[in-house]
Structures are given as structure tokens and as C-alpha cells.
Structure 1
């Protein structure tokens, strides 16, 4: 099984990237491709830019990366209760290729933050909008208090309930 894993954060030290990587590694016999959205940085989307220059190749590359995989593991960073601007821009450009951005792929949506909310606001928004963009959401799971629940030395989640729910979601891929 080919798995595409990424974080919606453009931070080089993203805790959501660590979580996405960990989750994807729990999938047995998976060929995991971990991508960094920094590699897909484009001008801010606008209708005017699209009319003048068309859709950037990087949006096509991201869309094709989704298309060439069997499933997706993505972890949402939350900025001020919403999507990061880096992800929103990438998503906006990609949706101009095809509104079915996720191409009916099974998706495990994750989120985490240093605080107790675990970025649940953005995770709920992503899950609720997913059907409009052809995402087959297997589960949406938040990990609160990242630094208390993730052992960075071993790169593992130590929260038993999270791990049980993650493995249950993986079994439905």
C-alpha cells in the first residue's frame, strides 16, 4: 500500500509532521512517502493570478501525489483556530485543478498542539468539509498536549487511547 503522509504546517520542526510520520509508520507493509508542504510554496491564490498565469505546476504536482497513492495520513496544525495559510493556499490552488482534491482516497486526519485542545477546531473544520473535496475520512483523531504525549527521543506516541484509535483507523484502510 502506498501512503502519502504530510503535515499542514510549514514549520521545519512541525509537531504535526512528527505525528503524521509516526502514524504512517504504524501501517504494516506500507510504502510511505512523507512530503513537506514547503516544497509546494506558491503565490497567494487569486482569480486574477489564475487568469494571468494559470495554475502553478506545484499545484499539479501535489494533486498528482495524491492521485498516485492508495491512502493519505495528514495532520492539521492550527493557527488561530483555523488552517495554516501555507496549507490553505496549497489547497486553494489544487482545488482549481479539480474540486475532488482527495480523489476519493481513504484519509486519516490527525491534529495536535502543545495545548489541551489538540487543534480540534481545525480538525473538525477539515472533517466537516472533507465530503465536498472527495475525501473518504476513515477517522479524525486529535492528540492533545503533544509534549506530554509524544516521546521525541523514540518518536512515538505514548498516549494509549490515541494509539488504540489510530490502529483501529488503520485497520479500516
Structure 2
């Protein structure tokens, strides 16, 4: 009978150790997953690139909101562009592709202004029907990481001052 109690204690300790190890493994996995999937808002131009991808390419409003300012913002012009392009796709039976070129930023302290040129290409049956370019200016603010707060189309690409 004494041997039976001894083995029960050993088995109980072994089960407890395995349970703690399992819980520790799950916690470690969840923390590692969180770190890998965390949104990086440390670089303003990376944030702008992700924002443009969400709004103009993926058409993902929820994804776009992850990169938008909290509170007041002026992003209606970019939303209007997306709506206009969607209407053209439906009306003319084309596929509209949007890309952007190199981005420039003025300053490193919040708020900053970034510029890029959007290229809009309409494809029908795999062949290019039209192509246009538009210069855009964006204002980004550091709100616990960079966020896009304003977007406006400019007449021509605006050169940014050099950091000389």
C-alpha cells in the first residue's frame, strides 16, 4: 500500500509538470504569434504604402482603418478616387490596376508630408486601354505609430525640400 501511494505522488507530480509545461508552451506560442503579426507603424512611408495597398488594391476598409488617424482626418479625396475607379470598372467592363512610384517625405517629426505618383491603368481583355498618372500628397501624424490623416491630389508632383 505504501508503494501505491508513492507511485500516485510521482504520477501526480509528473502530470502537474506536464500541465505547467503545456500552459507555458501555449503562452509562448501566443506571444510569438502576436509579435510576428503586430502592425509595424514605425516608418511613415511603410505605413503609407500599406494604407494605399488596403484602400486602392485590396479595397479593404477595415485594413485601411488600421493605418488611419484616430479622430479627425481628411481622406475623402482618396475614397472618392476609389469609388470613381470602381464605377469605371462596372460601366466600361475594364479592370483597373493602381500602382504608385517612389515616395518622398518632408521631415521626420510629426506631422510629415509624403508624396507619390499614382498610376491608373485600365485593362480590357488583357490589353491596356488607358493609362494616367496623378500626383498625391499625404499628411501623416505620429499617434502611437504613424497614421495617415489626409490625402489630396495635387496638380503636379510637389518637390519636397531636401534635408541639407
Normalised TM-score (structure 2): 0.25
Normalised TM-score (structure 1): 0.24
- Higher normalized strand content (fraction of residues): 2
Higher relative contact order (CA closer than 8 Å, sequence separation 6+): 1
